[in-house]
Structure 1
Amino acid sequence: MKTSTFLLACALPLSAGAAEMRFTGQAMPLNGDNVLYEERHVVTGKCTVGLFRPTSHNVTYVRGNGEAFADKTLSYEQSALRPAMTFRQPGFNEVMEIRNRDDAKLEIEWQTPEGDTENSTVEVTRKLVADAGFDNLVRNHWPEVTSGDRIEFDFLAPTRGKAYGFVLEPTEDDRINAAHTVLIEPSSTILSFLVDPILLGYNESGVLTNYLGLTNIRKDKDSNYTAHIRYTVETAPDCELTR
């Protein structure tokens, strides 16, 4: 991490090379100023040759009254783009688990709000990205992102048990106040009519500052919140996120 970006970063009581990043996101409706919920993130990893490499990631989702209502854990041991993941939303009796088997295949087990269990397997390809791996995809392609290039990838839709083609490219949008704004949308024209694009904002150092789009948090049994999430970094690793 560039020193000028995080002058207030604290020294961490971790072993040599180990690093930690803590940040909080406030989710708000697209046309409103009330906070729907808060995300509390803790990412642990290592500073390797001056570059932060995440190994695990924990997220706690909290209501305005401070009550935790969902949680997510991720492991990047097999891949930074295809983390193993467990997401629990007890209020809807929902559990989603993605297991990365030697980065050769992803096994998905979904306990639905209706009480059913659905299992599927997706073969891993070089272009496959899952869950929060999109954030590492952006950082891995930082020179392309900041120079205006278009990046094609496949994004896992775990509830459908398959991956779909997407593109990631720089854009401009008045709703995102960031040094770099990135658009993620389906590469298929037909799918683009069914899936709304996602907007991401990043600062000059590659820190995620904004997310605008469909979230993983349920509004009710049949739909999820669409929100604008603004992130604030509390603790940063003493190394860079991008090259």
Structure 2
Amino acid sequence: MTTNPARLMIASACFLAAQMGFAAQMNFTGTARTEAGETLYVEQHRVTGVCEQGVFRPRQHEVGYQEPGGGREFANKDLNYSKSLIRPAVNFRQPRFDESLVIDYPDDDTLVVNWQTPEGENKSFDVPFSDSVVVDAGFDNFVRRNWPAVLNNEPVAFRFLGPTRGEHYEFVLEAAESSQVTADHVVQIRPTGVILRFLVDPIILGYNARGALTDYYGLTNIRKNNDTNYTAHIQYAVENWPDCELTR
């Protein structure tokens, strides 16, 4: 039997494309509200990445924080997942409080936090980390990475970075029940340390059956004033899906 060279080339190209992935994008909007239902701000998310073996892998994530009603942008965040899906490089700016937070990875086992505080101080932390450490919005990819555990209501231990403290802490991802969040799957991330669990409330997360974040209920990174951040219920709506699955 002879082999058709053209078919062989097409098959090879398809295999190579499947291995390398192809460009994909996801766009979604989050609306942050108080418990009374007052809209605090709106998040505009644009995530670019690739579809690899049928699963979306984010690479860049841009977030614009806007005042209600299509108002001006008052803060923004850029995340880069090129080194790790659960430990992105972070560049967060909140100009109305003269605050910025940058997280980078100069070494394979150390991250650096540079924080300009609302009081005008510049603080820097060198933080050693392991593969169990999750940073910032990397929690979303962490949930999807552990999707079988979510479906089976199995807890997953990890460590979560507290960037303004220059340390990471023991947390657990687990199933939860909530009167505030209604979703196909409701989970929470909470500290497990004896002291911290009395000081830090769990963050409640809702996900739909496709693995997209629908709800976030807890402390946000947006400031109410120099001393306090908003606690809010953020509800997300996807406007553009990537041409592949979010989980597998």
Tell me the alpha carbon deviations over residues 201-233 of structure 1, each in whole angstroms, 9 at most, x when there is no partner: 000110000000000000000000000000000
Q: Where does residue 19 of structure 1 map in the other structure?
A: 24
The answer (yes or no) to whether the contact 1:78–1:103 under 8 Å persists in 2 is no
Q: TM-score, normalised by structure 2?
A: 0.90
Tell me the alpha carbon deviations over residues 165-219 of structure 1, each in whole angstroms, 9 at most, x when there is no partner: 1011011212111000011110112211100110000001100000000000000
CA distance in 2 between counterparts of 1:198 and 1:103 reads 29
Which SS does the other structure have where 1:193 is aligned?
helix
The answer (yes or no) to whether the contact 1:23–1:232 under 8 Å persists in 2 is yes
CA distance in 1 between counterparts of 2:177 and 2:219 reads 19
The structure 1 residue matched to 2:132, chosen from 123, 127, 142, is: 127
In the TM superposition, residue 101 of structure 1 has moved relative to its aligned partner by 2.6
In the TM superposition, residue 123 of structure 1 has moved relative to its aligned partner by 1.1
Does 1 or 2 have the higher relative contact order (CA < 8 Å, sep 6+)? 1
Which SS does the other structure have where 1:64 is aligned?
coil
CA distance in 1 between counterparts of 2:180 and 2:115 reads 34
Q: Where does residue 34 of structure 1 map in the other structure?
A: 38
Identity %: 52
Tell me the alpha carbon deviations over residues 82-116 of structure 1, each in whole angstroms, 9 at most, x when there is no partner: 00000000000000000023542111000011111
- The residue type paired with residue 132 of structure 2 is K
The structure 2 residue matched to 1:87, chosen from 92, 99, 112, is: 92
- The residue type paired with residue 231 of structure 2 is T
Which SS does the other structure have where 2:26 is aligned?
strand
- The residue type paired with residue 179 of structure 2 is D
The structure 1 residue matched to 2:51, chosen from 26, 47, 50, is: 47
In the TM superposition, residue 34 of structure 1 has moved relative to its aligned partner by 1.4
The structure 2 residue matched to 1:188, chosen from 186, 189, 193, is: 193
Which SS does the other structure have where 2:165 is aligned?
coil
CA distance in 1 between counterparts of 2:166 and 2:107 reads 18
Which SS does the other structure have where 1:159 is aligned?
helix
Q: Does 1:231 align with 2:231?
A: no
Q: Which has the higher helix share?
A: 2
In the TM superposition, residue 126 of structure 1 has moved relative to its aligned partner by 1.2
Aligned length: 227
Tell me the alpha carbon deviations over residues 106-143 of structure 1, each in whole angstroms, 9 at most, x when there is no partner: 11000011111000011120110000000000000000
The answer (yes or no) to whether the contact 1:206–1:242 under 8 Å persists in 2 is yes
CA distance in 2 between counterparts of 1:50 and 1:103 reads 28
Q: TM-score, normalised by structure 1?
A: 0.92
Q: Where does residue 12 of structure 1 map in the other structure?
A: none
CA distance in 2 between counterparts of 1:138 and 1:229 reads 17
Instruction: Please list every run of at least 4 consecutive aligned residues from structure 1 whose deviation after the TM superposition is greater than 3 angstroms.
Output: none
The answer (yes or no) to whether the contact 1:139–1:206 under 8 Å persists in 2 is yes
CA distance in 1 between counterparts of 2:107 and 2:214 reads 32
The structure 2 residue matched to 1:99, chosen from 97, 100, 104, is: 104
